[in-house]
Homo-oligomer: A and B are copies of this chain.
């Protein structure tokens, strides 16, 4: 008998299984007939919220993707002054993680999307910047939708490479340049491989259960996850995505876990083991609260995670904002806060990283850190400001031994890297801003792809507005 409160959550799980089974069945049929040189692909789409992508609650991407030969994905995102590459990165990293392989961008915006009141024509140069951003995440194709704008349909204003006049236009000429560069540099750019040490651990079960039992009406699971991704991305720490289907986590040094509200004991034990064996985990509040049936564990929280976390709690409260005592992360005073949800943590073996600055809750911890076996668990009992999350993540990464040279840059300079087919290291260096950037070159020497100029460590590098340099070792 499924209890009332978790009913919708169970329905979601069932619905996702229907999708997984249906796709597997379809792929099996196609596999009977396809030629050896053909492949089966599915055009996946992520969850669209406020013009941004995150985890899709209606499909288990990882499981659904298994029978397919190649992962395909649609990537639509904000543009003009709001273009920052976050969604391209997130959707790309997620698509690459699905089959731990390269993927195809099956649809992306040509001129503008959505509808007639939300037209946002890309600025000159942005189409090309976006195309290389896809490649830098591991895409092996960038396809636009549609070729020409449609004259009479629901998608009349989902504008194509061509306008309704079917004549060449500035967008067409920019697409033409992209195509000719892709052709020229294909061998160096195709099939970029990455080996990331950080993973974001997501949970569709938690996402859908937290729609029934939200910790806030304004900030949802996907907002928390996107915020984590954006902080990693803007500080040039590349990551993979994993979920409960990834049993072997040993490739990672640091795993960041947005509210893991729903998980069976064995899943939590696997994470405990990862830590004991030397891994580092950053958990968000509410992790460990419910079992796989969205039943609250009848234990002092965080139940199965209690020993690894080194604290327990019995009570919690919602609030708007609260300061932390003594600005423990030395952020600007206006950023020294937590918000929305607060667990009243009572440390057992954990070190208190931050306490609530409140007349009644001041004795409780808000953020803790605990050694467990050879590893370390950091825990957010409340939702910190972006500035604090950044400090904690950078600290966790550094302690986990993750401190690549790319970390010396930060948004709007975005660095994405990997190894090409020839085994050469590639660095994409993007300028996501309308101002030219002049930066020191922190990597070992290499050749800039477009200019064929040799660059050595310490040289300075100029990148124009909305432009990109690609360095080959």
Which A residues lie at the B interface, using CB under 8 A? 3-6, 80, 111-112, 115-121, 123-124, 149, 151-157, 163-167, 169-171, 213-217, 293-301, 314-318, 341, 344, 359-360, 434
Residues of B near A156 (CB, < 8 A) are 5, 213, 296
A112 partner, pick from B4, B119, B317, B434, beta carbons under 8 A: B317
Contacts A111-B315, A112-B317, A315-B171 given: A164-B298 contact, CB under 8 Å?
yes
Residues of B near A169 (CB, < 8 A) are 314-315
Given contacts A152-B293, A164-B301, A165-B299, 9 further A-B contacts (CB under 8 A): A5-B155, A115-B214, A116-B215, A117-B216, A118-B318, A149-B296, A152-B295, A163-B314, A167-B314
Residues of B near A213 (CB, < 8 A) are 115-116, 156-157
Residues of B near A294 (CB, < 8 A) are 152
Judge whether A296 and B360 touch: CB under 8 Å.
Answer: no
**Bound: A215/B116 CA distance, A:** 5
- The chain B residue sitting closest to A159, CB to CB, is B315
Residues of B near A112 (CB, < 8 A) are 317
A315 partner, pick from B117, B151, B163, beta carbons under 8 A: B163
A316 partner, pick from B119, B166, B167, beta carbons under 8 A: B119
Judge whether B166 and A298 touch: CB under 8 Å.
Answer: yes
A296 partner, pick from B4, B164, B216, B293, beta carbons under 8 A: B164
15 A-B pairs (CB sep. < 8 Å): A3-B153, A5-B152, A5-B154, A5-B156, A80-B317, A117-B215, A118-B318, A121-B316, A149-B296, A152-B293, A156-B296, A164-B296, A165-B314, A169-B314, A171-B315
Judge whether A116 and B214 touch: CB under 8 Å.
Answer: yes
A155 to chain B, nearest CB (A): 8
**Bound: A316/B115 CA distance, A:** 12
**Bound: A360/B152 CA distance, A:** 29
A1 to chain B, nearest CB (A): 10
A318 to chain B, nearest CB (A): 5
Judge whether A120 and B318 touch: CB under 8 Å.
Answer: yes
Residues of B near A299 (CB, < 8 A) are 164-165
Residues of B near A293 (CB, < 8 A) are 152
**Bound: A167/B314 CA distance, A:** 9
**Bound: A115/B295 CA distance, A:** 15
Residues of B near A318 (CB, < 8 A) are 117-120
**Bound: A155/B296 CA distance, A:** 12
A154 partner, pick from B4, B149, B153, B344, beta carbons under 8 A: B4
**Bound: A217/B116 CA distance, A:** 10
Judge whether B121 and A315 touch: CB under 8 Å.
Answer: yes
A338 to chain B, nearest CB (A): 15
Judge whether B296 and A152 touch: CB under 8 Å.
Answer: yes
Residues of B near A3 (CB, < 8 A) are 152-153
A378 to chain B, nearest CB (A): 23
Judge whether A151 and B296 touch: CB under 8 Å.
Answer: yes
- The chain B residue sitting closest to A164, CB to CB, is B296
A209 to chain B, nearest CB (A): 10
Residues of B near A214 (CB, < 8 A) are 115-117
Residues of B near A315 (CB, < 8 A) are 111, 121, 163, 169-171
A309 to chain B, nearest CB (A): 15
**Bound: A283/B152 CA distance, A:** 23
**Bound: A93/B277 CA distance, A:** 63
Judge whether B164 and A297 touch: CB under 8 Å.
Answer: yes
Judge whether B298 and A151 touch: CB under 8 Å.
Answer: yes
**Bound: A242/B157 CA distance, A:** 30
Residues of B near A298 (CB, < 8 A) are 151, 164-166
Judge whether A167 and B300 touch: CB under 8 Å.
Answer: yes
Chain B CB within 10 Å, residue with most, of A171, A341, A360: A360
